[in-house]
Chains A and B, each alone.
Chain A
Amino acid sequence: GENVEQHPSTLSVQEGDSAVIKCTYSDSASNYFPWYKQELGKGPQLIIDIRSNVGEKKDQRIAVTLNKTAKHFSLHITETQPEDSAVYFCALPEGNSGNTPLVFGKGTRLSVIA
């Protein structure tokens, strides 16, 4: 099955700085790369995703980049704000068909210091 490693496990940044979280994976056939955000006391929520046919996708202050050769993808948050403080998870499909569940990374706790 798919194996995904997420780093770092914790990250503290000053408000206004950028944050980067990276995930590496093992199955070179993976084709869908989502990121989820979990705020305190809530369930995770999808914030951005990318398919294997593009290398980067942006949505306002967040972006995801994909390096299929090196088998890693990263979440970038620019101009961080206190409300960005949360736990972030990367995920991958367990297999290559549309009928497989997601495998989640172990999560990164981001703290934005005002």
Chain B
Amino acid sequence: DADVTQTPRNRITKTGKRIMLECSQTKGHDRMYWYRQDPGLGLRLIYYSFDVKDINKGEISDGYSVSRQAQAKFSLSLESAIPNQTALYFCATSDPGVREQYFGPGTRLTVT
């Protein structure tokens, strides 16, 4: 089984809808991240959490919110989706003692 899983893998939704992307990990890592990938723009950090009680905004947090339900779960919400939030979204985890980040397989979100 994959160490970092994301659900759904693909989602098409309409403008104005609320949507939640979920991330689960079995690596036992305290740190979790949400990134957005757009062509030519690389990976941009949306939110990150260093433990269950810690939530931090990243470079592009506007229009997004997160919830860290447990050490293993970190969800990303779009309260009112808009077309320019169409992108590939990645969850990642890391251990405090090691810099390496482990990425999930991604969620392709399309907002029409």
- Chain A residues in the interface with B (C-beta under 8 A): 6, 9, 32, 34, 41-46, 49, 89, 93, 98-99, 101-107
Query: Residue on A with the closest CB to B44?
Result: A104
Q: How many residues of B contact A (CB 8 A)?
A: 22
- Chain B residues in the interface with A (C-beta under 8 A): 4, 33, 35, 40-45, 48, 50, 58, 90, 92, 96, 99-101, 103-106
Cβ-defined contact, B90 with A32, below 8 A: no
**Interface residues of chain B: helix, strand, loop or mixed (majority):** strand
Within 8 Å by CB of B42, from A43, A49, A89, A98, lies A89
- Expressed in whole angstroms, the minimum distance between the Cβ of B110 and any Cβ of chain A is 16
Cβ-defined contact, A98 with B96, below 8 A: yes
Residues of B within 8 A of A89 (CB): 42-43
Cβ-defined contact, B96 with A102, below 8 A: no
Cβ-defined contact, B90 with A101, below 8 A: no
Q: With A43-B92, A44-B90 known to touch, is A9 a contact of B40 (CB < 8 Å)? A: yes
7 A-B pairs with the lowest CB-CB distances in the bound complex, closest first? A43-B103, A106-B42, A104-B43, A46-B100, A107-B42, A104-B42, A44-B103
